[in-house]
């Protein structure tokens, strides 16, 4: 091949690559410009950081350090009004229980005006994995939803179904017993078993109630009257 022809082929190839890169960048910019919201992780839902500690409440749905960890959760919750935030660019709040490291990203619903609104949303959604956090500077623990929820408290008893919101009520009850020092740490498994019934009977005897092992209205009232005092208001 002649030198002139060889040079022409090389130049043509270089131009082709350059045009291809430029076209790809232009297409990506166009896709970003067409997107109606910021979405740096390309999850398909808005990135809405919460830089100001407003005392509003969020219902967190999931947490993680990458798009890979969060993608499946987004797919399961696309029918809900969700967004995600970067914790390094948001109010320093309780994104996870205090014994866990702070995640980089959090998927959430809200903000809600009060913790009660967020807690009601959690129970209605049957969301076992989510926690409610208050956008309050210096907060070290998630919101104790049993102390805020306004929904009618169900009667809990051994052998009941743990489907839907029942499992949330049971788990929250068990966590309350743990926080009151009436059960070992990590005892909240969401199943109202004989062990949970035994602990409820002990509480009922200590507070002059019929020791049935069933968490009825009177037992709920006594539990919350005593138990909510252990939390930071």
DSSP string, 71-105: HHHHHHSTTS-EEEEEGGGS-----S-TTSPPPSE
Taking alpha carbons only, the member of 191, 149, 143, 183 closest to residue 166 is 191
Are 58 and 132 a contacting pair, CB within 8 Å?
A: yes
- The span from the CA of 73 to the CA of 78, in Å, is 9
Taking 50 as the pLDDT cut, the residues of the chain under it are 1-33, 233
Are 135 and 60 a contacting pair, CB within 8 Å?
A: no
Q: What are the chain's domains?
A: 57-146 (no CATH), 152-230 (1.10.101.10)
Report the pLDDT value the prediction gives residue 157, as an integer from 0 to 100: 94
- What sign does the CA torsion over 179, 183, 188, 193 have? negative
Q: pTM, whole model, 2 decimals?
A: 0.75
């Amino acid at each position: 091949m002649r030198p002139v022809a060889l040079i022409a082929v090389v130049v043509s190839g270089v131009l082709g690559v350059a045009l291809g890169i430029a076209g790809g960048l232009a297409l990506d910019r166009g896709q970003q410009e067409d997107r109606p919201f910021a979405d740096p992780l390309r999850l398909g839902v808005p990135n809405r950081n919460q830089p100001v500690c407003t005392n509003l409440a969020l219902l967190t749905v999931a947490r993680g350090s990458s798009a890979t960890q969060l993608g499946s959760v987004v797919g399961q919750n696309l029918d809900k009004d969700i967004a995600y935030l970067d914790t390094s660019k948001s109010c320093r709040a309780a994104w996870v229980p205090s014994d866990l490291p702070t995640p980089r990203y959090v998927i959430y619903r809200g903000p809600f005006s009060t913790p009660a609104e967020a807690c009601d949303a959690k129970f209605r959604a049957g969301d076992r994995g989510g926690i409610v956090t208050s956008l309050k500077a210096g907060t070290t623990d998630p919101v104790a939803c049993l102390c805020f929820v306004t929904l009618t408290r169900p009667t809990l008893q051994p052998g009941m179904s743990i489907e839907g919101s029942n499992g949330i009520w049971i788990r929250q009850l068990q966590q309350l017993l743990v926080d009151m020092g009436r059960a070992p740490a990590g005892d909240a498994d969401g199943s109202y078993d004989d062990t949970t019934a035994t602990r409820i009977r002990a509480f009922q005897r200590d507070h002059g109630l019929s020791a049935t092992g069933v968490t009825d209205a009177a037992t709920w009232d006594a539990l919350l009257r005593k138990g909510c005092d252990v939390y930071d208001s």
